[in-house]
Amino acid sequence: MDPIKVDFSGKGKAKEVVIPPDKKILKLIISLVVTVIGAGVAYYFILPPLTLKAIELYYYIGVVLAIFIVMNVVTTRAFAKPEYIPYVKKVSRVPIVIALVFALILGIGYLTSCALFRAKAYSRIITVNETEFGKDESITTITDLSDFSSVPMIDDEVAMNLANKKLGDLSEWVSQFVIDEPYSTQINYQGNPYRIFPLKYGDVFKWLKNTSNGIPAYLRVNMYTQEAEAVVLSTLEGDGQYIQTSTSEYLNEKLSRVLRFAYPTFIFGVPSLEIDETGHPWWVCERIDKTIGLIGGEDVIGMVLVDACDKTNIAYYTLDQIKTEEDIQWIDQIYSKDLLIKQYNYYGKYRNGFFNGYIGQTGVVSTTEGASYIASGDDVWLYTGVTSVTADDSIVGFAIINQRTKEAVFQKISGTTESGAQTSAQGIVSDKGWTATFPVLLNMDGEATYFMALKDNSVVKSFAMVSVERVQDAVRSEDDANPDLKACIDAYIAKVKSSTGRVINMTIDADLPDAIGGDTPTGPDEPDTADIGTVTGVITDIRTAVIGGESVYFFALDSKPVYYSIAASDNNVVVILSRGDTVTITYKTGDGQILDARSLEVIPAAETPAVSA
């Protein structure tokens, strides 16, 4: 009997039998056609930049290759006929090889961009000039009351609530649009700090109803006077348009689609809505480049400007053009807050090498949570506290960065963090339960000072100042009926003198510019009496809407054919009123169909109402 020969080498392994399906050419063509169509649809929604530096491109390629493989499975019915699986594997070799090639490129790109090997490069993305706080006059310097016109009196949260209340002034559009908060921008407009809030369609059905015209307005809030405005474009001189391009469009007017079709290879950062000196809205869009290896070190290399009312009016500007061309000097934000903070944290973490960033951590710092803005000249500066990573309950200084030019300054000083200052300020009014806005850093004659507002239900009740170096030195304006900035400054100067013997030299005898507090208060909560009317009448209609998470009531009276809006948080009596009740309403005068009520008083049934306006 001959010996049995067994081949353990594997060379004699039987090959898979490839059985092609019927009409394989037709089915391959169908797979290719569907893949091309799928690639077009995927491109329309994914909108990947056509550059190897964009991670989105690799996702997109993966989706397209997956469509081709899936279509081969479907057309051959390999899921039901396993004998065709070898054929599908064979046909899929090319897309799999393509996928592996791009995966290899991405892997090499990751290694060339890895902070382990390029730590110094990451730390040099931003150039930081270090100095002592108060050594030289800086953008945070306050010498007299007029300087406060560039200081935000409120933070983003309060501005958002003021904008939501003003949204009611859009009359018939009030239920159609909501604020598009992630794309709001703080700018310097006509000498004051403003926050601009774009609107978006409330949902897809409201988009269908309104998209033929577009979005009729945007909101802006003066961060100094606290005055909110609903800017209807048709009221602007020479405008009379609607916002056609926005983040909430679904088809070709969607901002990301407008940008991608105009510049297929550009990588874009976070867009923001700004207004020029005439009030016309524009989308300012960062052009990002990966400056370290293939996919690392994001930085801005230019900016695309899109007319929000006309998507064909679109232009690209390099950084040099942004700095020199006079007609675009109104633009305040080229670098977004998140990008600047990320770059500063690279600087703080890796400037002494990669391993020091994790082991030993000598000199390693990071930004504190939160940031604020200061207007200076024609620019807006981002500021945030900087703390040692080994002791995050105190700061070692402040990072102050120009959002237009990326000029960065680190001012050294030891003291409490912004959150510590908020806690200290809130401690003064612990019996009232008020909360503090995110503080703004001020240099008051060399004294590092946190300035903030104390609020109740997003209504400013008082101002507070806290010493950066001595957190216990905290004061506020005492008159709760009238937030008085002068009184707060006087109290702070006295507090510093009693604690250190040091006198802060400031000119505070003059009136505040467009005063907040003091002798001539203005703003949405304390308006000029010339803008106030009073009306008494019987309620004929009541409507409600939830705006920004807050219940707002709209009342119509028999004495005047308009509605008066007031939030339940401003006067909780409104929730129990009914048609037929008689009320007296104090309101801000205007030409709209919805007027902003400042107070409401119920008139007892026994009294005879007298109508006045």
Helix/strand/coil percentages in the chain, nearest 5: 30, 30, 35
* Structure-token match 């009016």, residue found: 313
Residue 510's pLDDT is what? 57
Residue 527's pLDDT is what? 40
**300-347 residue pLDDT tens:** 999 999 999 999 999 999 999 998 898 999 999 999 999 999 999 999
Task: State the Rg of the chain over Cα.
Answer: 31
Which of 153-167, 286-300, 399-413 has the least mean pLDDT? Answer: 153-167
Taking residues 431-452, report their average pLDDT: 91
pLDDT of 511 > 90? The answer is: no
Nearest-angstrom CA–CA distance, 494 and 465: 12
Average pLDDT, the chain: 86
Q: How confident is the model at residue 612 (pLDDT cuts 50, 70, 90)?
A: very low
For residue 33, the surrounding DSSP H or E stretch is: helix 24-46
Nearest-angstrom CA–CA distance, 483 and 477: 6
Nearest-angstrom CA–CA distance, 95 and 65: 6
Which of 444-458, 507-521, 598-612 has the least mean pLDDT? Answer: 507-521
pTM here is 0.80
**SS3 call for 318:** strand
Taking residues 592-597, report their average pLDDT: 78
Residue 283's pLDDT is what? 97
Residue 141's pLDDT is what? 79
Taking residues 278-294, report their average pLDDT: 95
Residue 198's pLDDT is what? 95
Of 516, 519, 463, 512, which is closest to residue 491 (Cα–Cα)? 463
- Print the SS3 string covering 375-424: EECCEEEEEEEEEECCECCEEEEEEEEECCCCCEEEEEEEEECHHHHHHH
Nearest-angstrom CA–CA distance, 113 and 290: 9
Which of 125-129, 409-413, 509-513, 556-560 has the least mean pLDDT? Answer: 509-513
Other Cβ atoms within 10 Å of 466 Cβ, number: 30
Nearest-angstrom CA–CA distance, 14 and 304: 60
Query: φ and ψ at 189, to 5 degrees?
Result: -125, 120
CATH of domain 529-603: 2.40.50.140
Q: How confident is the model at residue 280 (pLDDT cuts 50, 70, 90)?
A: very high
Q: How confident is the model at residue 609 (pLDDT cuts 50, 70, 90)?
A: very low
Domain ranges of the chain: 24-113, 144-334, 353-415, 418-500, 529-603
Q: How confident is the model at residue 233 (pLDDT cuts 50, 70, 90)?
A: confident
pLDDT of 410 > 90? The answer is: yes
Taking residues 251-277, report their average pLDDT: 96
- Print the SS3 string covering 53-80: CCHHHHHHHHHHHHHHHHHHHHHHCCCC
CB 479 within 8 A of CB 487: yes
The set of residues, in sequence order, having a beta carbon less than 8 Å from that of 303 and lying 6+ positions away, is: 284, 285, 286, 287, 316, 317, 319, 322, 331, 334
Nearest-angstrom CA–CA distance, 265 and 54: 9
Residue 289's pLDDT is what? 97
Nearest-angstrom CA–CA distance, 603 and 582: 5
**23-67 residue pLDDT tens:** 889 989 999 999 999 999 999 999 999 999 999 999 999 999 999
Taking residues 157-164, report their average pLDDT: 89
Nearest-angstrom CA–CA distance, 446 and 441: 12
pLDDT of 426 > 50? The answer is: yes
pLDDT of 174 > 80? The answer is: no
Query: φ and ψ at 246, to 5 degrees?
Result: -150, 175
Enter the tokens of residue 178: 């909501």
293: left (phi over 0), alpha (psi -120 to 50) or beta: left
**474-505 residue pLDDT tens:** 999 887 767 788 889 989 999 999 999 988 88
* Structure-token match 């003003």, residue found: 166
Percent of the chain with pLDDT over 90: 54
